[in-house]
Structure 1
Amino acid sequence: MSKWTERMTDLIKSVGGFAKANKPVAEAFHTLETATRADGILDAKTHELIALAVAVTTRCDGCITAHAAAAKKAGASKAEISAALGTAIALNAGAAYVYSARALEAFEEL
């Protein structure tokens, strides 16, 4: 079994355990996730490409696991995944650039 397949199995177990321990929060999270798809403006593939790029920028292995699988299921190609991840890389670089300016401002003010 590959490490990502194993991670998916572990993720399902762990979130299932959390759902039993804190049902209201688990239900609220599920409602929030469902609400992101409710209006149908984004098709499933686009939704998952965005989610995967965000998962990378937030460094969430569980999110990467779930959304990579969902993107594949929604028909995303490797080229589409790579393009979305390229956007995530650029965004992280941009955020570091902006926050570097903020760090210099803080240094100068303090």
Structure 2
Amino acid sequence: MTTDWKGLLGDAMKDFGALAKGNPKIMEGIQVFDAAGAVHGALDAKTRELIALAVASTTRCDTCIAVHAKGAIEAGASREELLEALGVAIGLNAGAAFVYSSHILSAFDSLAK
């Protein structure tokens, strides 16, 4: 499967911007959810992004994959750390997580260039 992860991410950011402009309360709500996930500060940004990618493999959300692959790269995640996190997701969700983990790996490699 070939996906233009950079293009998908750029399109998603434009779409998110349009949605936020059309209904600012939606963006405010998403920001509240996002901030709530880090409220205790027990996990660093890299760990949270790796968890998000593991979850994205089980929810099969390509936009989530692009957004959080970019976030993981920016937070300093290594490919090896990503592979370990995806291994946990695959162990819990078997086949579907395996397929989407390959998408995540592709996104990570593409966006790291």
TM-score norm. by structure 2 comes to 0.77
Residue type of the alignment partner of 2:94: A
1:28-74 CA distances to partner (integer Å, 9 max, x unpaired)? 11111011112211011111110110011100111100100111111
Structure 1 moving runs of 4+ over 6 Å: none
1:53-100 CA distances to partner (integer Å, 9 max, x unpaired)? 001110011110010011111111101101111111111129xxxxxx
Structure 2 counterpart of 1:26? 27
Residue type of the alignment partner of 1:32: F
Query: Any stretches of 5+ residues in structure 1 without a counterpart?
Result: 95-110
Structure 2 counterpart of 1:40? 41
Structure 2 distance, partners of 1:58, 1:25, is: 21
Query: Any stretches of 5+ residues in structure 2 without a counterpart?
Result: 96-113
Structure 2 distance, partners of 1:56, 1:26, is: 24
Structure 1 counterpart of 2:13? 12
Structure 1 counterpart of 2:104? none
Structure 1 distance, partners of 2:72, 2:5, is: 14
1:14-34 CA distances to partner (integer Å, 9 max, x unpaired)? 111111222212211111101
- In the alignment, structure 1 residue 51 sits paired with structure 2 residue 52: yes
Structure 1 distance, partners of 2:22, 2:61, is: 21
Structure 1 distance, partners of 2:12, 2:38, is: 22
Larger Rg: 1
Instruction: Say which structure, 1 or 2, has more relative contact order (CA 8 Å, 6+ apart).
Output: 2
1:5 deviates by: 1.0
TM-score norm. by structure 1 comes to 0.78
* Secondary structure of 2:77 counterpart: coil
